[in-house]
Structures are given as structure tokens and as C-alpha cells.
Structure 1
């Protein structure tokens, strides 16, 4: 039976994408792992691999098509002995039943979550179990009952990986059983959020005035959607502190002089990343994210850092930042930022983390409030270091380099006193930078 190849979700936040380029054509024979197409997600251009073997019978979505929804059929794969004449019937019979289930599974996962929904059990039509030819051959050789195996392919189709490790006589536990019981508590109708004036209404306001209309690309649509969600659903509150940087600037200059032969130059941002990572270890209850009906407290300090790119931003994640040296963090951050600006990051490099850092100090911004990137529990907004008069511990007036920091906090995850404790730890590390090396 012909198999529909569906538009994949290549990142956790992807709802639609652009089919940039087909790397196969109708009539080509493909195997599992072959690259079929290049797809532009909301964040990057990625390669899409085949999960089955067969012949490309029909390409349903041409190259260059924009706004292709996840789980939309984009091509049809033919098994041995099948032809293009067999395509129409299964496409019409199968899609209405399977596509809604796939869409529901996609929408059930919280946006931005790195968790992957469990695949459905094999789709059956009139008692038939859908499986690839290779999976059927392996099952026959091993004496497996396909009806007892849960498929991980599109619409629950059984593929090679599902049968390779299966043993005769042992039924694979239905993976769908691991999913939450959605029937137990009927979902309440969501209250519609105000969306503001429509595009036509706004256009009428500026009728007769010259303007350029800029179409939204996938990244800008995602940024708009996620930030709207964040401000509408996350109860933000803000904690502000100032930190004196003079000791850090002197320490940084000394370190950079010693690291110069190795070609290493540490930035103030590298110290902020390290201080934040260590503060998460000192105040572990702040190393947490919101997960809908629960809080997840992370053990490692995975710190995301906002990187501005043309048309949007990335938040690459420095994993285990508390365990890495300043020079290692600096090198990793430079690499991630460079690849972010060319949109070459893989999803696992910008998904996760419990908090983010947004630094606008290099643009001369002294202080600002950042919007939390869900599901993070907080985001630290960092301003520029400015020389100011301050009163020293001995009561004397002196000039110091002072930097403003604002911690935006999700009150569902972190309470005020806890957030204040975390920010106090960050300031302590930055004002005594040598302690970050202990």
C-alpha cells in the first residue's frame, strides 16, 4: 500500500515550514537514511531523511512551497509492485483518519518543550497492519506478529527499527499507553485572547501614506507567537540589582593577558554566563522550568544566551555550564553565535535550559526588562557598565563601573525571595570573580 511522506516537525516549535528543495524526483529509489529534501523550519534549514525504502511515486508539494503544515502529505512512497495508479485511493481513505490524530499529538506537546510525544500504535484499516516491506521481511524471518508491535513511522506505520530488536512471542508494549489519559478530564473551552486589530483594519488606518509591506517569514511568525504567549500566560515579575565591575574588569584584563598566547579573549558576557551557572547550583530551586501541571527542577546548569540575528533571534544553550572553564565557555559561545547567525544550529543546540541571558550592554542600553522564553523559569537582562559615583564601605565617595541587571521571573516557578537569593549569588560571583575558579 502506498505510503504518504508527511511534512516533519524538525524542531519542537515548528508548526509549518517551507519545502525549500527536493533532492529526489519521481521514480527515484530511496532507502532509509537517504536525504529527501531540504526544509526551512522556524529556525533553520535542515535536511529531511527517509525512514523507509521504496520508490518516490509522486511529489505532492513542489519545491519552494511556503507555509506547509506539519503532517501534511508532501510525497508518496511506493512499495515493491505498486505503481502511480495505486496512489489516489489510499491517500483519500487514510488521511482523514490518521491526520487528525497526528495533529492532536503535535498540539498536545507544550510549545518549546524538548519532550517527544510517543508514537501511535499501528494504524489498521479493515484489520490490516501497515508496515514497510523491509519490516515485513524481517518480521517474517523472525516469526514476529506485526499486530503486536507498535510502529514509530508516520501514522504508526511499522518500520525496520521497530522489528530489529523485537523477539518472537514477545509483544511490544503499546507505546500509546504511556500517553496521559486525555479522556479522564475533558478539556475546557479556552477563552479567546484579545488579538488586536486585523491586518485590514491597520492598513485602512494608514491609507494614503507611503509604506513598505514586509511579509513575515517563519522565524518572525514564531517569535511573535511565542512572545505573545509568554506575556499573556506567564506571570512575570522583575528583580533589579546593580553590580560593581571594577574587580572583574581588572581580573579579566589579567587573565586575557595570560591567555593571549592561546588566542583566548574572555568577554564580560563569559563571566556572566559562568556566574549564572554557578548561582543555579547555589540556589537549585531556581534551576527550574514550568511544565504545564508540574515544575521540572534540573540538576545541571544549562544556560541559554540570546543571539540577535537578521529577522529574529536564537537562544543557543550552553549545557553543563557550571562544569566548564571560562575559556571553554568562551570558545563554545563564539561557535554557537557564529552558527546561529548563519542559521546552522541543530534543534538540540537551541532547545532546553532553565534560564536565559540577554545582554544589550554592547549597544549602550543601561537597563531593560526581558521577556521569558517558555518554558524557562527566568531570564537575566544585562545592561552596559557605566561609571557612576558610589559610596564605598568606608563611607567615602568614589567612582565605580556599575552594571544594571534585571531578572524577569516566572512566578509559577520561582517566588520573590528565591529569585532575590539567586540574583544575590550572581552579584557575589561577579564582584569576586576569582571565586568562579575555585
Structure 2
């Protein structure tokens, strides 16, 4: 039976994707799990695998064309098979009109749209994808001034982005001419547009700051014993041929998971004035890419012992870096680590609707007094907890941060 190749959902906010490249052509043999087409969203470029063994019977969406999440972009089946047998999630959701009626309606709309495109002035209508319309609103682009490059002149998201880049370049050039009428060649600066991923990050971060009441608490955790414990665990793993990457972030993730279970009020989302408190801990791990930042998610971290947590964190972060179908949605709390960059404290920004995010800095050696007032050297880890003050007050947020520090100071508790 013929099987549809569906546009995947790469993130919580993704509604449409764009076909970037077909790795197979109609008539080519494919194997289940083999890469067949590359698609892109605002955040990622990802390879879609063949859903079954067979032959690529039909390409429904060509290169640069957009498709809604769940919509069929191609069909795999057996030689000579009728492609009409395949269905998609997108098609099943629209079951009210028959296929014949839908086809007639689409043709009628297309004919009307083509007619409208010949009109002049404000009455003129444009064919534009939902993703392009949303992008145009976000970037303040007048769609009446955009020339569509999609099928039958349809305006695509890329058309909007190109016009926005041209506007930025034109505005910058005008400002330079106004403020520096005699600019020398050696003083000229390079101007380039933002990538789609950078624009998405910028919009999300601005939305976060505009719609939440963010406050950040800072403190240090004594990880002197944790570093000794980490070294011992690594040695034990190596001697027993266990392929485990026991980084400091793994131990920290375990401490955060246990602390969220002890303080469930932090593991809460505020959605439409309703507080949603979760028993499950879905841990977001902020991961840096060359193009920007993504947050793959470790689902049900509360069920994972230390070794399993290490393997799952390695899997989701490597999958995200390779541009594959990483799980980028559903986190209940996020960890962001800038320790490798030498940063001690910073103010991480919430990823709504999450109510908390933990920033981790680079550990430092310090001198302090022990219980006998003798000087000793310890290793401290800077922690920065940003939380939504609409959901939490300062005292419970501080207690949560102190619990994390407690687990890090007594690392054997992480195994219980």
C-alpha cells in the first residue's frame, strides 16, 4: 500500500516547512529509514526518512515549496501502484468535503486569485502562505509590495525574509548617508540580513521579556566533593567498559530533576492565567549551533538514573547538532551552561511557558573557613536561576536553588 511522506513537526511553534532538496527522484528505490528529502523550518534543517521500503512514486511538493505540518509532500509505494491510496494526517483532518469538491474549490479560489492579481490599487489580493503572513506581520513587511516566487505567484516565507533584509539594508544605508555624508571607503561597514533562525530566536527572546516578569537569583554551590565523585564514577565506568559521558552537566541535570520533584511549584507553566503543575520532568538542554541556539528535550528525566540520563542527554544534543529530528518541544524546565566559555554569572532568559531556567557558569577555586575556622580551598560553581515572578515569589525560588546546591555538595544523594 502506498505511504505518504509527511511534513514533520520540528518544534512546538512550527506550522509549516519548506522542501529544500529531494535526495531521491520519482522511480528511485528507497529503503525504510533512508534519507529521502531535506526540509527546513525557522529553526532547523532536517532530513526526513523514507516511511517504508519501495519506490518514490510521486513528489507532491517540489523544492522551495511549503507544506503544513502533517501534509503529504511525497508518496512511497510499489511499482505500478496507484498513488491515490496514500493518505496523510493533513488530509484526514479535513474530511468534511470530498476530494472532488475540494479540488473544485481550490481551482475556483486559484482562478479568483489569478483574477485579483490583475487588479490595480488597494483592491488587489495576494496569494500568501500562512507562514509568510505571520512572518510579514512579525517583520513589518507590506505584502502588497512583495513579489511572490511560489507556485502561481504565491508569496512564501522566503520572499518576506528577502524583502525584510532589503528594507534593513536600505534603512542602514540611508542612516549612513544622513549621518556621514563623506564616508571614506576604509570606513564602510559590512551589512547583511539576519538568518531565519536568528530572526526566530530574536522574536522568541523579545516575546519572553515582554510577556513575563523575570527575576534572577545568583548563588554558588560547593562542588569540591562532586568533582572527586565525578572522577571516581568515570574511572568505574571505564573499568567496566561502560560508554558513559559523565560531564558536570549530567550531574547538574540530575540535581535539578530531584530538586524539581521536591519543589513542584517551579515545574509549572502559566498558560492563559491557569497554572499547570507537572509531575513529570521534561528537561530542556540549551545547545549551541553554528547558526544559533536550540533546546532539545530529555523527556521523563525523573525516570532516568544517572547513567541513563547521561546517555539520553548525549543523544538529544548530538541529534540537534546534526540537524536531525530532535525533540525541541515540551520542556518543563531548562538548563543553559556557559561554563565552557569562561562565564561565571549571567541572566538566562525564560523560554515561555516555562517558569524557570537555570544558568550555569564556570567553576572557580576559592578560599574559605571550615567549621574549625581553618582556611581551606574549595571549588564553587556559579548558578543563576531566572524565574517568572508571576508564578513564584523570591523565597520559594531561593529554596529551590538552595536544594540544587545541597545535592551538588552531597553528590552521593544523586544516586538515591
TM-score, structure 2 length as denominator? 0.67
Structure 2 equivalent of residue 372 of structure 1? 350
**Which stretch of structure 1 is more off in the superposition, 320-329 or 5-14?**
5-14
- 1:10–1:307: structure 2 CA closer, same or farther, 3 Å change rule? closer
Structure 1 equivalent of residue 174 of structure 2? 204
Structure 2 equivalent of residue 396 of structure 1? 374
**1:393 to partner: Cα distance:** 3.1
User: Is 1:91 aligned with 2:69?
Assistant: no
- Cα contact 1:238–1:369 (8 A) shared by 2: yes
- Residues in 2 aligned to 1:15 and 1:225: alpha-carbon distance in whole angstroms: 16
SS of aligned partner of 2:362: strand
**1:281 to partner: Cα distance:** 0.5
**1:392 to partner: Cα distance:** 2.7
**1:37 to partner: Cα distance:** 4.9
**1:69 to partner: Cα distance:** 7.6
Structure 2 equivalent of residue 381 of structure 1? 359
SS of aligned partner of 2:217: strand
Aligned length: 329
User: Is 1:326 aligned with 2:306?
Assistant: yes
User: Residue deviations 1:254-282, cap 9 Å, x none?
Assistant: 22111112243411111100000000001
- Residues in 2 aligned to 1:48 and 1:302: alpha-carbon distance in whole angstroms: 26
- Cα contact 1:9–1:70 (8 A) shared by 2: no
Structure 2 equivalent of residue 301 of structure 1? 281
Alignment RMSD: 4.2
1:110-259 equivalence runs, <5 A: 200-206=170-176, 208=183, 209-259=187-237
- 1:389–1:223: structure 2 CA closer, same or farther, 3 Å change rule? same
User: Residue deviations 1:305-343, cap 9 Å, x none?
Assistant: 111111112211122223322222112212222221111
- 1:417–1:222: structure 2 CA closer, same or farther, 3 Å change rule? same
- 1:95–1:297: structure 2 CA closer, same or farther, 3 Å change rule? farther
SS of aligned partner of 1:295: strand
- Residues in 2 aligned to 1:24 and 1:434: alpha-carbon distance in whole angstroms: 52
- Cα contact 1:43–1:218 (8 A) shared by 2: no
SS of aligned partner of 2:386: strand
- Cα contact 2:47–2:323 (8 A) shared by 1: no
- Cα contact 1:386–1:402 (8 A) shared by 2: yes
- Residues in 2 aligned to 1:411 and 1:389: alpha-carbon distance in whole angstroms: 34
- Residues in 2 aligned to 1:34 and 1:436: alpha-carbon distance in whole angstroms: 40
- 1:94–1:290: structure 2 CA closer, same or farther, 3 Å change rule? farther
**1:402 to partner: Cα distance:** 1.2
SS of aligned partner of 1:426: helix
- Cα contact 1:286–1:419 (8 A) shared by 2: yes
**1:44 to partner: Cα distance:** 3.3
User: Residue deviations 1:157-193, cap 9 Å, x none?
Assistant: xxxxxxxxxxxxxxxxxxxxxxxxxxxxxxxxxxxxx
- 1:24–1:44: structure 2 CA closer, same or farther, 3 Å change rule? closer
Structure 2 equivalent of residue 134 of structure 1? none
- Cα contact 1:76–1:87 (8 A) shared by 2: no
Gaps of 5+ in 2: 52-56, 76-82, 86-100, 113-126, 135-166, 178-182
- Residues in 1 aligned to 2:390 and 2:107: alpha-carbon distance in whole angstroms: 46
User: Is 1:260 aligned with 2:275?
Assistant: no
User: Is 1:418 aligned with 2:388?
Assistant: no
